[in-house]
């Protein structure tokens, strides 16, 4: 192992992911606005400048049993995503045996679980359903159960973990079924990627899985799961402002809100980056491969922006059959890959 290259990859791959991810919300908002015949905000405003703005806001103490843990959850999410993209980098291949789809799936599931923890650790008085129960001695409403909006979002987040993200994980493993290996670099190598000597002309020699029958099916399933993971329309019920205000993130303000935005932005980019690695065979290597990788990683956010511009927020009565339907489609893709 070349430890210099390993150190450079460990520093610059997350840095590139961070830099690109701050553009993604603005690009998505701009596309949505144009489709809906609006001008839309400047490209850097919803991402980069929003983060800068909240860094200078006054910090507040949340109504939480563990305020420090509550504030630290978005930071944990950011590092989870950075670690995820590092596991897809060729310089990390073989490190601790973690550069496999099993490790990637585990990190993604932990990231999903963070939303459950966020809601459970937040009890803002503004989110208590009215009428507000009187807790004084002798009050007739003293025994009334208090339920915060954050707890509603926790239930929805848990449903997403158990059912909504099924298509993503099935789509995640279809390339492994085709290749016969769960190793990230094995999947990329199967499609013709070579770490040394990669040039832009090497793109013509690649044989992306996405252009095969099971690859197309897997890409569709992965995309639906991608919309669920990033909580984007039509799967944004966990954050819908109609009845849960801001869901589990209601009390995040100042630096914590900035970190939450970064967590969501990096998730958008890293999940799309993983798709490029698995389905196009181009991992985020520190060479010329990074150029097509970053360009192709914008495909899923752009597609998500187009879908969200035309769709309302779905309820779980609609989400369940959609998730199960695309999960079944993913299973068909697995069967086709085996055959």
Q: Are 265 and 21 in contact (CB under 8 A)?
A: yes
Please tell me the predicted confidence (pLDDT) of residue 219.
95
Span 309-329, average pLDDT: 88
Residue 130 has pLDDT above 50, yes or no: no
- Nearest Cα neighbor of 300 from 249, 244, 245, 232 is 232
Higher per-residue pLDDT: 282 or 132: 282
Residue 119 has pLDDT above 90, yes or no: no
- The secondary structure of residue 253, as a DSSP letter, is -
Residue 134 has pLDDT above 60, yes or no: no
Domain boundaries, the chain: 3-130+145-338
Residue 15 has pLDDT above 80, yes or no: yes
- Tell me what percent of the residues of the chain surpass a pLDDT of 70: 89
Residue 131 has pLDDT above 50, yes or no: no
Span 10-32, average pLDDT: 92
Q: State the pLDDT confidence band at 331, using cuts at 50, 70 and 90.
A: very high
Q: Render pLDDT for 208-218 as a digit per residue (tens, 0 to 9).
A: 999 999 999 99
- Nearest Cα neighbor of 163 from 336, 317, 23 is 317
The string of DSSP letters for 29-79 reads HHHHHHHTT-----TTIIIIIHHHHHHTSPP---S-SSHHHHHHHHHHHHH
Span 274-289, average pLDDT: 91
Three-state DSSP class for residue 230: coil
Least confident of 73-82, 193-202, 271-280, 293-302: 193-202
Three-class DSSP labels, 260-303: HHHHHHHHHHHHHHHHHHHHCCCCCCCCCCHHHHHHHCCHHHHH
Q: Render pLDDT for 52-102 as a digit per residue (tens, 0 to 9).
A: 888 888 887 777 788 888 889 999 999 999 999 999 999 898 787 788 999
Q: How far apart are CA 331 and CA 324, in angstroms?
A: 10
Residue 142 has pLDDT above 90, yes or no: no
pTM (two decimals): 0.89
């Amino acid at each position: 192992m070349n430890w210099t290259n390993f150190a450079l990859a460990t520093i610059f791959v997350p840095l590139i992911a961070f830099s690109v991810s701050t553009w993604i919300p603005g690009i998505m908002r701009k596309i949505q606005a144009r489709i809906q015949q609006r001008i839309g905000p400047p490209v850097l405003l919803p991402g980069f400048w929003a983060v800068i703005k909240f860094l200078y806001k006054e910090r507040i103490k949340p109504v939480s049993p563990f305020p420090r843990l509550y504030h630290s959850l978005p930071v944990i999410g950011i590092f989870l995503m950075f670690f995820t993209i590092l596991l897809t980098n060729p310089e990390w291949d073989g490190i601790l045996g973690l550069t496999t789809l099993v490790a990637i799936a585990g990190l993604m599931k932990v990231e999903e679980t963070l939303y459950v923890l966020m809601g459970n650790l937040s009890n803002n008085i503004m989110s208590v359903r009215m009428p507000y129960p009187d807790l004084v001695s002798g009050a007739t409403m003293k025994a009334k159960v208090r339920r915060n909006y954050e707890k509603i979002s926790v239930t929805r987040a848990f449903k997403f973990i158990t059912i909504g993200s099924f298509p993503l994980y099935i789509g995640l493993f279809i390339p492994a079924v085709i290749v016969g290996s769960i190793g990230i670099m094995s999947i990329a190598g199967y499609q013709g990627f070579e770490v040394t000597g990669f040039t832009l002309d090497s793109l013509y020699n690649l044989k992306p899985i996405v252009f095969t029958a099971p690859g197309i099916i897997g890409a569709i399933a992965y995309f639906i799961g991608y919309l669920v993971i990033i909580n984007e329309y039509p799967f944004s019920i966990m954050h819908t402002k109609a009845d849960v205000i801001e869901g589990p993130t209601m009390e995040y303000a100042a630096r914590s809100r900035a970190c939450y935005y970064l967590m969501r932005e990096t998730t958008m980019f890293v999940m799309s980056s993983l798709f490029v690695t698995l389905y196009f065979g181009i991992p985020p290597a520190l060479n010329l491969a990074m150029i097509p990788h970053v360009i192709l990683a914008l495909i899923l956010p752009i597609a998500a922006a187009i879908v969200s511009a035309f769709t309302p927020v779905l309820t779980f009565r609609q989400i369940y059959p959609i998730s199960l339907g695309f999960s079944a489609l993913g299973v068909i893709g697995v069967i086709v890959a085996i055959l």
